[in-house]
Chains A and B, each alone.
Chain A
Amino acid sequence: MTTADPLAPAVAGSAWDRLRGFAPPSRFLPVITTFALLVGMFGAGAVRYPGFSDPQVVLNLFIDNSFLIVLAVGMTFVILTGGIDLSVGSVVALSTVVAARTMEAGWPPLVSCVLVILIGCTLGLLMGLAIHYFDVQPFIATLAGLFFARGLCFLLAGRPLPIHNKSFSGFAEASISLPGGYYTTWAVVIALLIVAVAAFVLHRTLVGRTVYAIGGNETSALLMGLPVARVKVGVYVVSGLCSALAGLLFSLYMLSGYSLHAVGMELDAIAAVVIGGTLLTGGRGFVVGSVLGVLVLGTIQTFISFDGTLSSWWTKIAIGVLLLAFVVVQRLVVRRQP
């Protein structure tokens, strides 16, 4: 440690020494890297574009990506167990369609929401059961889910369905004023609540620790007497639930249901989780990382809209480069371990 150095001048400020000597546990490193990247991108943006440093830009980042945050939370559960869920984008679309369709038929928004959530959980449950009890590869089971949910959307509505329900659109448009003239939306509050609950579950409950244990070594987890079957199926239910909630937030954001909503959004969610430092092999990662991952993706988009001259496809290129960089960094981290 630094204090062991007898030659160090005593007045050099122990605070600085402590700061310099501070080595975060290696499992936090990927999240810290993502955070540093985010801060760096913001710094660059603030220097380059006037108005980028406005706090409202940060708040908008959350507003425009609240659904993706929720989606990434669900995806984090799945990826921590070493699985993957490709169905989430389709389930988001299905949720918007079901919400729009039922409200069009005069259902109260709350009942619509409950139905949407039930559908999401059921789809997740079915995929989870197939994965655990029939040993279907998560990739295949959720690919089936992807096609199934997307197909169901078209069956329910081939065209965009606007949502006219007064209380629903009222809730969507309501903004929460913050001191200093800034504002945010209820969707952001809901998303952050979900993040908090997810973080608590993952780190403070047996279910959460079992999620990590399964990702570390499933056979061992089983022999340790942990509830492997329930949790392994459960993460897909959680992902289905999060997809349904994200679908509702997306309905609030778009005020419409459409079968072509959220095409490829599962890939954004996976990208966010990976950029957030969660290992695709499972067992390592944090929900907070995934939130940071979403914000990184959002910041790239903000960059492009502030610049105005860049094609929006640059977003995809930047995401591609970042993703590759993070996966390579992760490989290096894993390889260093014995």
Chain B
Amino acid sequence: MTQMDTESPAVARGTSDPVIEMRGISIAFGGVPALDDVDLRLFPGEVHALMGENGAGKSTMIKALTGVYSIDSGTVVLDGEEQQFSSPAASQAAGISTVYQEINLVPNLTVAENMLLGREPRRRGGIDFKAMNRQAAASLERLGISVDPASELGSHPIAVQQLVAIARGVDVDARVLILDEPTSSLDADEVEMLFSVMRTLRDHGVAIVFVSHFLDQVFEISDRMTVLRNGRLVGEVLTEETTQLEVVRMMIGHELAALERLESASGAGVDRSARPVLKALGLGRKGSLEATDLDVYEGEVVGIAGLLGSGRTELARLLFGADTADHGSLQVEDDRSHLRSPRHAIQRKLAFSSENRRAEGVIEDLTLADNMLLALQARRGWMRPIPAAMRTRLVRQYIEALDIRPPDPNALMRNLSGGNQQKVLLARWLITEPQVLILDEPTRGIDIGAKAQIQQLVADLAQQGVAVVFISAELEEVLRLSDRVVVMRDREKVAERLNDDLTVADVLEIIAGSARQEEPSDA
């Protein structure tokens, strides 16, 4: 596809007038700015990538353009005329269509209906289904998508539904097509299919906004990029004039340095001669985890590696008493009694942050402060409310310490980005001053800046003497942080290694597994 630049009608790229120009856009939610003086230019026949971390303002920007949010200040100029889109319908009528990450189609109607409803062909006062299917088939074919238009949408895989959504989008004579994370649920072939559709459209002069977390894809398909950070414009660059490293640097700013510095932070001075703070002996539960031994010492980070379903999460839940063990024992300090419930575990200074942030972590309709204080309140019991002054002090302290944004204790949890939600959850447990902190996938689905901060925090906590059990699917992360690595496979602990010069390849080999490696561990 190297010749595409010369073939595309947009050879005059950058010299023609932009179809859309957004200037000085600012939007604030409840006084907290989400966008601050951001510009965006879209040229016809061009794929424009909107780049930024979670919470940088990409979605807000898109919603400003499509009329979902109203703009506090700034102008949107379409074809040289200033516009005010008051609703998604208004922006659609102006030729801007959006395909969201979660597919906004109706599964119980047919493919053709999903594409054409709202402007369906009619005959004798009713919908002309034959003409509708014909029209849908024609536009599907033009985009090279082979689907039966009369079939029910819900019967197709997600990727096909995504393509149908795009077909609907461009069928409205779109001049601007916005694709918000369209590739997140597609495999490589399907991504290729999508890209060829995108190239076809671009060559027809459509301006495409492409939002994706996948840098490789962005560099493959885009012509121009606008980078946002913390609701501000960092810059607009041409893809061919920049590099991935450069763009990442623009996206995360100074924070990349933190990630690099971390390498040296871990590994120092764990005293394993003392009594372990957490000692599991033959801990297991029928159907979820085989008998497992695990010692965790003060000031140590124990990484748990393994594939999804290998028993990592099950182990974490048993350690915390979220599931009850049916054999083995768990000793916290010198207390041997069984953990009956998470409440019980919290009282013994254990803390557990679940991998399922949404269902088992945050309570979306409560404020940041309420979410943060839940665990402390649970430990104190409902009879002893937390004094207001203490609440304020704690919340303010942790918002500052963890750099939570927005720094507003009364912000609703649902309005925080994933990374910031995760920080609040961490704060929730840190407030209880745990001896043992169990973190299940604390960095999943959050942006690289927040990730670096959380990793740094884990390293710092270990230095302060907290024992940390760190679970992650990302082996690099586990190896970077851990003093010791436990590898799980098939609901069983298969190895335990000191993290001296362990490499990702070593761990992968253990995970991939063979009888040879199932010998007793050497830790």
Task: Name A residues whose Cβ lies closer than 8 Å to a Cβ of B.
Answer: 25, 27, 200, 203-206, 209-210, 212-213, 215-217, 219-226, 283-284, 337-338
Contacts and interface: CB of A to CB of B under 8 A. Distances in A.
A51 B109 CA distance: 44
Contacts of A215: 108
Interface stretch (B99-107, B279-287, B307-315, B397-405): B99-107
A229 B152 CA distance: 24
B92 interface: yes
A219 B104 contact: yes
Contacts of A223: 88, 98, 100, 104
A338 B126 CA distance: 32
B126 A205 contact: yes
Contacts of B120: 206, 209
A216 B109 contact: yes
Contacts of A337: 154
B107 A224 contact: no
Contacts of B89: 225
A217 B106 contact: yes
B106 A224 contact: yes
B127 A206 contact: yes
A300 B118 CA distance: 43
Contact of B88 (A210, A213, A225, A338): A225
A217 B114 CA distance: 12
B118 A225 contact: yes
B126 A204 contact: yes
A223 B152 CA distance: 19
Given A204-B127, A209-B113, A337-B154, A225 B104 contact: no
Given A205-B126, A205-B127, A224-B168, A284 B104 contact: no
B158 to A, nearest CB: 9
B117 interface: yes
A225 B108 contact: no
Most buried by A among B89, B108, B152: B108
Given A224-B117, A226-B118, A212 B88 contact: no
Given A206-B117, A212-B106, A225-B118, 19 more contacts: A25-B152, A27-B108, A205-B127, A209-B109, A210-B117, A213-B117, A216-B109, A217-B104, A217-B106, A217-B107, A219-B104, A220-B103, A220-B105, A222-B88, A223-B98, A224-B117, A224-B118, A224-B168, A337-B154
Interface in B89-146: 89, 92, 98, 100, 103-109, 113-114, 117-118, 120, 125-127
A209 B117 contact: yes
Contacts of A209: 109, 113, 117, 120, 127
Contacts of A213: 106, 108-109, 117
A337 B118 CA distance: 27
A215 B108 CA distance: 8
Nearest to B124: A204
Contacts of B104: 217, 219-220, 223-224
Interface string B150-175: 00101000000000000010000000
Contacts of B117: 206, 209-210, 213, 224, 226
Contacts of A219: 104
B108 A284 contact: yes
A54 B426 CA distance: 75
A206 B128 CA distance: 11
B92 A225 contact: yes
A212 B108 contact: yes
B126 A283 contact: no
19 contacts: A25-B152, A204-B125, A205-B126, A205-B127, A206-B117, A206-B118, A206-B127, A209-B113, A209-B117, A216-B107, A217-B104, A217-B107, A219-B104, A223-B104, A224-B104, A224-B117, A225-B89, A225-B92, A283-B106
B312 to A, nearest CB: 27
B176 to A, nearest CB: 16
A118 B42 CA distance: 53
Contact of A212 (B92, B103, B109, B125): B109
A193 B324 CA distance: 63
Contacts of A283: 106, 108
Contacts of A284: 108
Given A205-B127, A210-B117, A223-B100, A216 B106 contact: yes
Given A200-B126, A206-B127, A224-B168, A216 B113 contact: no
Contacts of B154: 337-338
A222 B100 CA distance: 13
B105 A224 contact: yes
Given A27-B152, A206-B118, A226-B117, A220 B127 contact: no
Contacts of B103: 220
Contacts of A203: 127
Contacts of A217: 104-107
Contacts of A216: 106-109
B206 to A, nearest CB: 19
- 4 shortest A-B CB distances, which residue pairs? A204-B126, A216-B106, A216-B108, A283-B108
Contacts of B105: 217, 220, 224
A301 B109 CA distance: 36
